[in-house]
Chain A
Amino acid sequence: MTTKLFGEPVRRREDARLVTGRGRYLDDIGAQALAAAFVRSPYAHARITDVDVEPALDVEGLVAIYTYEDLTGPMAEPLPVLIPHPQLHAPRTGYPLANGEVNHVGEPVVMVVATDRYLAEDAAERIVVTYEELPVVVGVDAARAAEHAVHAEIPDNVAARHHQETGDVEEALAGAARTLSFTQYVERSACMPLEGKGVHARWDPADSSLRVYSSTQASTSVRAAIAAKLELSLERVEVIAPDVGGGFGVKIVHPWPEELLVPMAAIALGHEVKWTEDRREHFIGSAHERQQRQEITVGFDDDGRIAALDVHAWHDNGAYTPYGIIVPIVTATQLVGPYVIPVYRVVVESVYTNTVIVTPYRGAGRPQGCFAMERTMDRIADALGLDRAEVRRRNLIRPDQFPYDHHLTFQDGRPVVYDSGDYPGLLSRLTSLVGWEAMEDRRAEAASRGKLLGAGMAMYVEGTGPGPYEGGHVQVLGSGKVLVSTGLTSQGQGHETVFAQIVASELGVPMEDVEVTTGDTRRFPYAVGTFASRAAVMSGNAIALAARGVREKALRIAAEVLEASPDDLEIADGVVGVRGTPGASIPLRTIAVLSNPLRYAFDEAAKQATQFARPGADDQPPVAVGDAPGLEHRDYFSPIRSTFASGAHAAVVEIDPATWEIDVVTYAVVHDCGNVVNPMIVEGQVHGGVAQGVAGALYERMAYDADGQLQNASFMDFLMPFASEVPDIDIDHQSTPSPLNPLGIKGAGEAGVIPGSAAIASAIEDATGRRISAMPISPTELYDVMRSPSAERTAAAGRRTEVGG
């Protein structure tokens, strides 16, 4: 921690490899593999009455066809509910291949294996599946109305009713000086990593072992799932996440049907098999997130201080609930943000629809919670004629209130207790960064150019780095190389760089000597996965602890050799020396050789070490009791609960009142993730998050029609923003270290996306004077709002008109 690498903007060491095309992604593996393709349901809700594979049988190159009838044992059972919860009273999951019924377009029905993907698709196209269509449920409102049921035995379509409350909300609302009630919507989007999912499996009959590569965020858990479902012994299965081209949440779900079916086929066929998801499959066969209807009632006093908040939300969970109710819980518990909410009640009903499943997408329910809370703040400000920043300021948790207990239960089952933070600090930095006080001047200047300018802001608190644990292993080799491994996976975040920085700092070695491996069960079998902004917090700390263990052992051995006290030793540039005594030193690599009493002189390192080696005492074993050969250490980090990062965003938009095009002209971010390992990587994470926040606010939506057909399942019509649509981003950092982990860090991966829709909706509302209660919003929709006689005008707009005469 005292060396300078920790906290430095070290350039990402993985980039040279990745940007010059030397990455090794799933589809780069297994050029000789057989290819799998899937027949997927074209209907959103239907009974399967017949599957006729006959017409496909004469396709040259066809190897095998699998339907549900071919699944045996655990494979014929429903896929697991990964995270059960007592309030998830009606969980449902699909089968690896549809068992008589399909519940969304894209659900896999038949797997075809052929000598290449072209032929596999040719065969798949010829397979005739006969369906009997059933009524379709699309959208939270249709699910709630329950005229039809997604699952016949769940007539109200409600999978879970998640409920938390911190007091008597009815009484508190009745006693409040003022109340406001309103309804708002957030629409679906999706993670959309540029690399879709993919699985490659190879069975080795000689030692009955299976190696699987998967483009996953959780290789250890995929391994366990495959072992269980295919009835293999765990030690016969290894799973490796190769380079992964983005995840953003969708690849934390496991096992995907394909992660089981591809290995199953590889074993059955005795040949390696690969499936690479294509873009259309990803749109209709992976996962989405975000759609909610929110009914909110807030009670507050004449100064804008909240007395009580009552939220009833309906959350569209799609056709199945393999990932439990994590997203509804996160919305419910993170909604309160940086504010004191004296009495809070939240009910989130998680409802089934005949659409792609909903599982965490970067932010994982927080953008919706932030949208609810922050738009509530805007409404209070509007009702009272107060500045929106001032209303927020009056409700913020003060720095002297930490640890702050919201009396809620988080997604990890632990209490929502904020560990540290300075929310007034965030707000004051934000208002100065964006020039909040000077906004009227900017508004006037824009008006002189014929543009409507408006500003909005949103704050958030984000629980990051949930447990239960992650581990790290650090080993110094005789060559001087330092091998580092952790079980969680990487999807391009820069883990190689950050973990190497941590080890180099802790151990006192050059960063170039540190080699990092992630997501490979051969190297580290125990892990949870990369999600919930947890990699730096969890694996970063575990690796730091492992490095400290190595350091302690190295100093112990060096102390014996140098005949010094370990307290007088230091490590710099990979050499252990006695402080203040030049020349009294020994390289770490030599200590690594000495640490193993078996020293065949295979190499120079072993020969050099002999000068330090002393004969062991005749009355002691060569490896002391409690010691172990080798200079390595394995350690785990398991926090008491999540650590809470925070931030505040402001957006300034300019709107063309002729075309209703919306241009984000300023985007300001104040960000607090505690101690920062690498500020360049944190800023990159913020940039990427903001891009997805802007996407969710202005561009992306999943356009399902009433039949459950996704109308925009391509990058032509699903409007992921280009670089040209992402605004320049001004960032300011604040740091309130976490007391909950040795490095004092908090997660940073998801933060950037959370306040986007809230801040941009607020800015559009400020610019137009019309209430914006559904996001995303496009120019054509804004035009509809502006010309609708029933569109609600904000009180602020009325006051501005009065002032302006």
Chain B
Amino acid sequence: MKPAPFRYADPGSLGEALDVLAAEGDGAKVLAGGQSLIPLLSMRLAAPTTLVDLNRVPGLDAVEVTGDGVRVGALVRHAELLGNPAARTVQPLLARATAYVAHPAIRNRGTTVGSIAHADPSGEMTAVLALTGGSVTVATPAGRSTIGWRELFVGPLETSVHGAAVVVDAFFPALPARSGTAFVEVSRRRGDYAVCGAGVVVTLDADGLVETVRAAYLSVGPVPEVHDLTEAVSGQPAASADWAAAADLARTLVDPDGDLHASADYRRLLVGVLTERALASAAAEAAA
């Protein structure tokens, strides 16, 4: 379990990083926290020709919180985001989901943006980016562009970002008014990737009736999925809405696969259970 040979670059600026990536071509891989990449290298499941380590690049380590949302730089560790009170206020899903990311040692090293760029459909932060309608900023030699989550996630462990490009930040829009959130998971062991997870946002209208209901799921498909469950409970009072109906709807919308830890049927069961529990909790928060 030792990596195959690779070159290593630790550029001191973003421009230099992009130069190295452009020069190295498709064999180059960006390294930030390394919590997914390094094990893949050690098991020789990945053998990049060059690792471009971002850790010396200045300006990528900030969490910027505005009324519009939270912008997380590429070198921000999970633990830092988890502990950021302003971010938690503007978009509560960030802290709620980050708390489920692995264990403290991994959260201290792993980065939120790295998780997103890794595009694991079992990852918490990919689901949160999707659920909040977020986007990432990608820097290339030609300049910067914004890529929305739907365009970003192409398949399991695959994004639309290729070549000489660095995801420099992720933007999570603020929680809308009169809204509540919840994030729940079932995992085999505490800190494991979820067998199934759900993040939800419930928004009420001015009269306290359900206006929109959206849910995102982990480990149920090849890419993060967001489903609109509003029709099952639209216009119902938050305190007495038929969340079971919304859960039933969710079950019909997902198409999970089975693996070593859960059958497809079991995942579908959990989608319903977690949806119902999360929605009740989120609605109570929205009404409070």
Q: Which residues of A contact B (CB under 8 A)?
A: 117-118, 121-122, 125, 278-280, 658-661, 699, 703, 711-712, 714, 716-717, 719, 721-722, 724-725, 778-780, 783-784
How many Å from the CB of A791 to the closest CB on chain B?
15
Q: Which of B263, B265, B266 has most chain A Cβ within 10 Å?
A: B266
> B152-192: contact bitstring with A at CB < 8 Å (1 yes, 0 no)?
00000000000000000000000000000000001011111
Q: Which of B189, B191, B262, B265 has most chain A Cβ within 10 Å?
A: B189
How many Å from the CB of A445 to the closest CB on chain B?
21
9 additional contacts, CB 8 Å, given A779-B195, A779-B262? A118-B5, A121-B1, A699-B188, A717-B261, A719-B261, A722-B190, A722-B191, A780-B262, A783-B266
Is the beta-carbon distance between B261 and A122 smaller than 8 angstroms? no
Which residues on B sit within 8 Å (CB–CB) of A721? 189
Q: Does B284 lie at the interface of the complex (its beta carbon under 8 Å from any beta carbon of A)?
A: no
Please name 17 pairs of A and B residues whose Cβ atoms are closer than 8 Å in the assembled complex, sorted by A: A117-B2, A118-B3, A121-B44, A278-B1, A280-B1, A660-B266, A661-B186, A703-B260, A714-B43, A717-B260, A719-B192, A724-B190, A779-B262, A780-B195, A780-B262, A780-B266, A783-B265
Is the beta-carbon distance between A118 and B2 smaller than 8 angstroms? yes
Which residues on B sit within 8 Å (CB–CB) of A717? 260-261
Q: Does B201 lie at the interface of the complex (its beta carbon under 8 Å from any beta carbon of A)?
A: no
Is the beta-carbon distance between B266 and A719 smaller than 8 angstroms? no
Q: Which residue of B lies closest to A120 (CB)?
A: B2
Is the beta-carbon distance between B260 and A711 smaller than 8 angstroms? yes
How many Å from the CB of A717 to the closest CB on chain B?
6
How many Å from the CB of B194 to the closest CB on chain A?
12
Q: Is the interface of B mostly helix, strand, loop or mixed?
A: loop
Residues 235 to 288 of chain B near chain A (Cβ within 8 Å):
260-263, 265-266, 269-270, 273
How many Å from the CB of B45 to the closest CB on chain A?
11
Question: In the bound complex, how far is the Cα of B262 from the Cα of A784, in angstroms?
Answer: 10
Which residues on A sit within 8 Å (CB–CB) of B188? 699, 719, 778-779
Q: Which residues of B contact A (CB under 8 A)?
A: 1-5, 43-44, 186, 188-193, 195, 260-263, 265-266, 269-270, 273
Query: In the complex, which of the residues B186, B260, B263 contacts A784, with contact meaning CB atoms closer than 8 Å?
Result: B263
Question: In the bound complex, how far is the Cα of B192 from the Cα of A661, in angstroms?
Answer: 15
Contact A122/B5 with A659-B273, A780-B262 known, Cβ cut-off 8 Å: yes
Q: Which residue of B lies closest to A116 (CB)?
A: B2
Q: Which residue of B lies closest to A279 (CB)?
A: B1
Is the beta-carbon distance between A780 and B273 smaller than 8 angstroms? no
Which residues on A sit within 8 Å (CB–CB) of B43? 280, 714
Contact A780/B2 with A659-B273, A722-B189 known, Cβ cut-off 8 Å: no
Query: In the complex, which of the residues B190, B191, B260, B262 contacts A712, with contact meaning CB atoms closer than 8 Å?
Result: B260
Question: In the bound complex, how far is the Cα of B221 from the Cα of A324, in angstroms?
Answer: 47
Question: In the bound complex, how far is the Cα of B260 from the Cα of A279, in angstroms?
Answer: 19
Is the beta-carbon distance between A724 and B270 smaller than 8 angstroms? no
Which residues on B sit within 8 Å (CB–CB) of A280? 1, 43
Which residues on B sit within 8 Å (CB–CB) of A778? 188, 261
Which residues on B sit within 8 Å (CB–CB) of A118? 2-3, 5
Which residues on B sit within 8 Å (CB–CB) of A714? 43
Which residues on B sit within 8 Å (CB–CB) of A722? 189-191
How many Å from the CB of A59 to the closest CB on chain B?
10
Which residues on B sit within 8 Å (CB–CB) of A724? 189-191
Which residues on B sit within 8 Å (CB–CB) of A711? 260
Q: Which residue of A lies closest to B1 (CB)?
A: A278
Query: In the complex, which of the residues B2, B191, B192 contacts A121, with contact meaning CB atoms closer than 8 Å?
Result: B2
How many Å from the CB of A126 to the closest CB on chain B?
11
How many Å from the CB of A527 to the closest CB on chain B?
33
How many Å from the CB of B90 to the closest CB on chain A?
30
Which residues on B sit within 8 Å (CB–CB) of A125? 4, 44
Question: In the bound complex, how far is the Cα of B261 from the Cα of A719, in angstroms?
Answer: 10
Is the beta-carbon distance between A725 and B265 smaller than 8 angstroms? no
Contact A779/B266 with A703-B260, A711-B260, A712-B260 known, Cβ cut-off 8 Å: yes
